[in-house]
Amino acid sequence: MRFKGKVALVTGGYRGMGGAAAKGMAREGATVISADIIEGAPADAEKGITYRKLDVSSPAAWQILVDAIAAEHGCIDILVNAAGVTEERSEVHGTDLAAWEKVVAVNQTGVMLGMRAVCALMLGRGPLSIINVSSIWGLVAGSGQLSYHASKGAVTLMTLNAAVTYAARGIRANAVLPGLIDTEMVRDQDPAMRAETISNTPMNRIGTADEVAKAILFLASDEASYITGALLPVDGGFTAR
C-alpha cells in the first residue's frame, strides 16, 4: 500500500495510461481524482477513484478543480499529467494551424496549467510528486506529426525546469516517455505507421498501459524520493538505439 493516505490527481484518467495509473494508485490506497474531458466514470471504474470533468486546456477549469480538491482533501500529493491528443499525420509544410493549436493547447499548455495550479497549492505545504507523460517523440524524432513532437518536447523540458526550480522545496518532477502503447489513441492509427514503429522497437512489440502505469507509480511513490528530473523511457528500447 505505497499510497495509503495520499491524494492523487490524474488527468486523462478515464482510460489509457492515465486510467491504468489512476487504478493502480487507488488499489494501493490512494484517494484518486481522475480528471478528463470525458464526463462520468468508465464501465471498469475502480473503488477509490472520483471521476471529474476537466478540459486541461482551460485555466479557469483547473482553478475550480484544484480549489475543490483543496477544500475537500486539504492537499494534493501526486499530480499525473496524462491527458493528451494526437493529430493526423502531416509533414512540416502541411501543418494545419488549427490542429497545431489544439495539440499544443492540450498537450503543452494543459501540462503547464496543471503544474502551475498544483505547485501554487502545495509550495511550502508539503511534498508533491509530479509525473508528466511525455513521449519518445519528446526526445527523438519520427517523421511528420510536428505539433505532437513540439508539444511533447515542451513537456520533457517543462519537467526538467520544474524539477530544477523546486528540487530544494519538496516538489519532485519526473516524466515517463512511452513508446508505442496499445491504447485508444493509436488503435485507429495507420497500420503501416504502427508496424514501422514496432519494427524499430528492439523488443519488437507494442507496450501496454499497465507497463507505463507501473513506471508512473514508481516515480510517484516514496521509493523515488531522490529522483527528480528523470526522463524514463518506457519504450521497449526504442530510444536506446
Catalytic residues: 148
Is the backbone of residue 40 left (phi > 0), alpha (psi -120 to 50) or beta? left
**Residue 38 within binding range of ligand NAD, rule CB under 6 A:** yes
Residues 169 and 194: their CA atoms lie apart, in Å, by 42
Helix axes 110-122, 59-73, angle to 10 degrees: 30
Single out the residue of 6, 10, 14, 131 in contact with ligand NAD (rule: CB under 6 A). Answer: 14
Strand partners, 49: 32
For the bound state, the minimum distance from the C-beta of residue 80 to ligand NAD, rounded and expressed in Å, comes to 10
Single out the residue of 3, 7, 21, 57 in contact with ligand NAD (rule: CB under 6 A). Answer: 57
**Residue 133 within binding range of ligand NAD, rule CB under 6 A:** yes
Provide the 10 A C-beta neighbour count for residue 139.
18
**Residue 61 within binding range of ligand NAD, rule CB under 6 A:** no
**Residue 172 within binding range of ligand NAD, rule CB under 6 A:** no
CA distances from 6 to 142, 158, 235, 240 (A): 38, 24, 28, 34
Nearer to ligand NAD, 29 or 185 (CB): 185
Single out the residue of 9, 25, 32, 54 in contact with ligand NAD (rule: CB under 6 A). Answer: 54
Nearer to ligand NAD, 4 or 107 (CB): 107
Question: Which range of residues in 25-33, 88-96, 159-167, 178-186 is near ligand NAD by CB under 6 A?
Answer: 178-186
Query: Is 15:184 a contact under the CB 8 Å cutoff?
Result: yes
